[in-house]
Amino acid sequence: MPRPTNKHRKLPPSSAPAGFADRIDAFIACLSLERGLSLNTQSAYQGDLDDCAAFLAEKHGLKSWRDVTAAAATAWLHSLRDGGMSAASSARKLSALRTFARQLVREQFRPDDFTELISSPKLPRRIPGTLSEAEMEKILAAPAGGDAMAVRDRAILELFYSSGLRVTELSTLAIPQLNLDDGFLRVFGKGSKERVVPIGGKALEALRVYLDAARPRFVRTGKTGAEVFLSERGAAISRKTLWVIVKKYARRAGVEKKVKPHLLRHSFATHLLGGGADLRAIQEMLGHASLATTQVYTAVEPGRLIDQHARFHPRNKG
């Protein structure tokens, strides 16, 4: 199966000062060609590095990445904080700078990593929002009727909740990635890493109905490709449209929480954990590189922990 691409689109050249821009451009090319990162991710890296380079040139009079010190880079981070940037955003920018600095060392452009001694901003632990099972059931039932739009939207919501896909993964999902007979799909996540994700029974049923009866009504000659979910114009459904769909049915279901596609992904993980699923299996299904990322869901289910304590602690018996 061919790996999804960014259709050979490229970012415009770095806007950093002369002496800095060429190394940023080389780094972005590496992110695209060797690591297969999305255009959005490449753009975020480039923006962070361009901002850093502009600060280093203007405030410290530096001419090249060869001249950058830990003190100068730390001053940039402090300027972000003083400008009101959150710790989370500052940490993301430092992460981009660290990745870039390591690349400079690997390419022997510098002998040392100037970010090695920089401390990361302390982040508060954020617990993902989630929907209750009852709220999720209401949203899944919201696309009423048998018209093509309702059938499509029902399949979208069921698949979001059944498989925990990211919004980009669902919008780019192609028919060859589906294996409905065996009940799974292959998806390309961050960094174009492939993973296998199960499709639950209700989602399988909704997908089959959509593919057989509704998708053909969206097909338009010259516009339709292999993507599973199509817009009214016959093209692949966009991320923005998926956001609109999720929010529309959440309102129709009477759910007062701020519902967006990623909340369905959080609910997928939380409900699996609450049902007793293994944390490493959830990690695989979500496509998390680190188990630590998945472990945040253990903080979402205090009721499950209380139940486990009540059932199994010896002092609760008799």
Side-chain half-sphere CA neighbours of 34 within 13 A = 7
* DSSP-assigned beta bridge partners for residue 227: 174
- Spot the catalytic one: 161, 210, 249, 297: 297
What angle do the packed helices 261-274 and 302-312 form, to 10 degrees? 0
- Spot the catalytic one: 154, 265, 266, 271: 265
Q: Is 166 a catalytic residue?
A: yes
* Cα torsion through 100, 102, 104, 105, rounded to 10: 170
Q: If you count them, how many residues does the chain have?
A: 318
d(CA 50, CA 20): 8
Strands 184-188 and 194-198: antiparallel
CB 277 within 8 A of CB 269: no
Phi-psi bin for 61: left (phi > 0), alpha (psi -120 to 50), beta? left
Q: Is 297 a catalytic residue?
A: yes
* DSSP-assigned beta bridge partners for residue 196: 186
CB 229 within 8 A of CB 75: no
Burial of 240 (0-12, 13-18, 19+ CB in 10 A): exposed
Q: CB under 8 Å to 153, separation ≥6 — which residues? A: 143, 245, 249
- Spot the catalytic one: 217, 239, 260, 262: 262
CB 269 within 8 A of CB 127: no
- Spot the catalytic one: 102, 190, 202, 304: 190
- Spot the catalytic one: 110, 166, 215, 266: 166
The residues that are catalytic are 166, 190, 262, 265, 288, 297
